[in-house]
Amino acid sequence: MLQRNSTAFAVFRGSLQLPLLMRRQRNQRLLQVCLLVSLCAIVVSLLVTSLGSRVVYLALRAGWGPAEHWYDFSQPSLFVFYVYSAFVVDLGPRQHAIRLISISSPVELFARNHLDVLCVVRRRGHNTNMQVASILRPPPRHTTESGKLAWFDVADYVYSCPIPPSPHNQHAPLELSVVYKTSQATEVSEATTFMPVEVPTRGHQAVAVCVQATYGHLSRERVVEWLEMQRLLGVSLIGVYLTPRTHRDTRRTLSRYAEATSPPLIELRTIGYLDGGRGNGHLLMVNLAAINDCFYRHSYTHRYIAVIDFDEVIMPRKHRYLSDMMAELEATTPLANYMFLNTYFFLEAKPDDNVSAQFTIARFRQRVSSSAWMIAHKSVVVARYCASMHYHQCDSFNNFSSSLPLPFTPASAAAAVQLGVSRLNVVNDSDAVSHHYRSCYGTAHTAGKCDQLLASTYRDDTVLRYRAQLVDSVRRILDSTAVFNATLRERN
CA distance 342 to 433: 6
Total-model pTM: 0.82
Q: Domain-by-domain residue ranges, the chain?
A: 71-197, 205-491
Among residues 268, 127, 294, 103, the alpha carbon closest in space to that of 198 is found at 294
CA distance 415 to 413: 5
Position 26 scores a pLDDT of 67
Yes or no: domain 205-491 corresponds to CATH 3.90.550: yes
CA distance 369 to 344: 8
In this chain, the answer to whether the domains covering 71-197 and 205-491 adopt an identical fold is no
Using 50, 70 and 90 to split pLDDT, how confident is the model at 183? confident
Mean pLDDT (the chain) is 82
CA distance 345 to 371: 12
Q: DSSP characters for 401-466?
A: GGGSPPPSSHHHHHHHHHHT--SEEEPPTTTEEEEEEE-GGGSSS-HHHHHHHHHT-EE--TTHHH
Cα angle 151, 100, 76; round to 5: 35
Q: Could you report the per-residue pLDDT of 127-149, keeping only the tens digit for each?
A: 777 889 999 988 888 777 778 88
Q: Could you report the per-residue pLDDT of 417-442, keeping only the tens digit for each?
A: 444 444 778 999 999 999 999 998 87
CATH class label, 71-197:
mainly beta
Chain centroid, CA 297 distance in Å: 16
CA distance 235 to 207: 5
140 or 306, greater pLDDT: 306
Position 102 scores a pLDDT of 96
Among residues 367, 361, 366, the alpha carbon closest in space to that of 471 is found at 361
